[in-house]
Amino acid sequence: MGSIAVTGSASGIGAQVCRMLESEGHSIIGIDQKTDGKFTRIAADLSSKVGRQSAIDETQRLCDGQLDGIICCAGVGVTAPSASLIVGVNFFGVTELVDGLAPLLVESENASVVVIGSVAATHQQKETADLAQAMFDFDEQQANRLAEASGSTHLAYAASKFAVTAWARKLSVSIASKGIRVNVVAPGAVETPLHQASKDDPRFGEAVKNFVAPIGRNGQPEEIANAVSFLVSDKASFISGSVLFVDGGMDAMMRAKQF
């Protein structure tokens, strides 16, 4: 088993992904804001260009020139202090990192990129079209301006997850000839510190608590990690460009005719 870079490795879904992949024999290069926890070997702020480049440089140094996978779990939610922070981490913190590390995947026999998206943001919303387009254009300054002008972390979150999902699907086509698969896991509500912060928020916490998936409960981080583990394995060797919902039926409940 080779090396896999995992962002957001200190807690929540990212930490569980690290734990599971390590148990399967992979060497983990964890990336987070601080070197907290067992798996985080690189401290980098993915909301900034400097932080992203630092993460790329350090990963290149630690992996001896080859990676088998990149798993992008780092993300911020609607309780973030600013809408531009959401855009910076959730979109540019993924796209720049993957672009910078993708050359390290070429020599792998089963190279895989997995991006953590969201069940809440897999379709374009009219009110975020301009913001999403700025991200598609990789114009971070314009995206930040539009995100802040929206005055809504909810809109910024939805746009960032939609944009990164669409980007990953397009990347899967352009990079397939190099033997690299790209997929998205779209979780529903999962019991993580990020989700707990939403439940604790006095502005919308009750709505979050009351929005329950058809299966009748929230997910657990290990259930998302199971999906990631499958997608990076040989068992998923013919799967690329897919969005795998791990949401207890929430997407089917909201968009049964959209698939």
Q: What is the CA radius of gyration of the chain?
A: 17
Half-sphere exposure of 189 (CA within 13 A, CB side): 19
Q: What is the pLDDT of residues 172-230, one digit of tens each?
A: 999 999 999 999 999 998 887 776 777 676 676 676 666 788 899 988 999 999 999 99
Q: Is 182 helix (H, G, I), strand (E, B) or coil?
A: strand
Q: Which of 157, 162, 167, 245 is catalytic?
A: 157
Give the residue from 164, 212, 157, 206 showing the smallest Cα distance to 185.
164
Question: Does a structural domain hold residue 50?
Answer: yes
Q: Which domain covers residue 214, as residue numbers?
A: 3-254
**Given this model, what pLDDT does residue 204 score?**
64
Sequence-distant (6+) residues with CB within 8 A of 20 are 222, 225, 226, 228, 229
Q: Which two tokens stand for residue 51?
A: 């932080």
Give the pTM: 0.93
CATH number, domain containing residue 80: 3.40.50.720
Average pLDDT over residues 25-50: 94
**Given this model, what pLDDT does residue 242 score?**
98
Place 27 in a pLDDT band, splitting at 50, 70 and 90.
very high
Question: Does a structural domain hold residue 20?
Answer: yes
Question: Does a structural domain hold residue 162?
Answer: yes
Task: Annotate 199-242 with DSSP letters as a single string.
Answer: HH-TTTHHHHHH---TTSS-B-HHHHHHHHHHHHSGGGTT--S-
How are strands ordered across the β-sheet holding 111-116? 40-43, 27-32, 3-7, 69-72, 111-116, 180-187, 243-246
CB 222 within 8 A of CB 21: no
Per the annotation, the verdict on 157 as an active-site residue is: yes
Question: Does a structural domain hold residue 259?
Answer: no
Place 123 in a pLDDT band, splitting at 50, 70 and 90.
confident
Q: Is 35 helix (H, G, I), strand (E, B) or coil?
A: coil
Number of structural domains, the chain? 1
* Placement of tokens 């690299």 in the chain: 180
Place 69 in a pLDDT band, splitting at 50, 70 and 90.
very high
Sequence-distant (6+) residues with CB within 8 A of 39 are 6, 9, 10, 15, 18, 19, 22, 28, 30
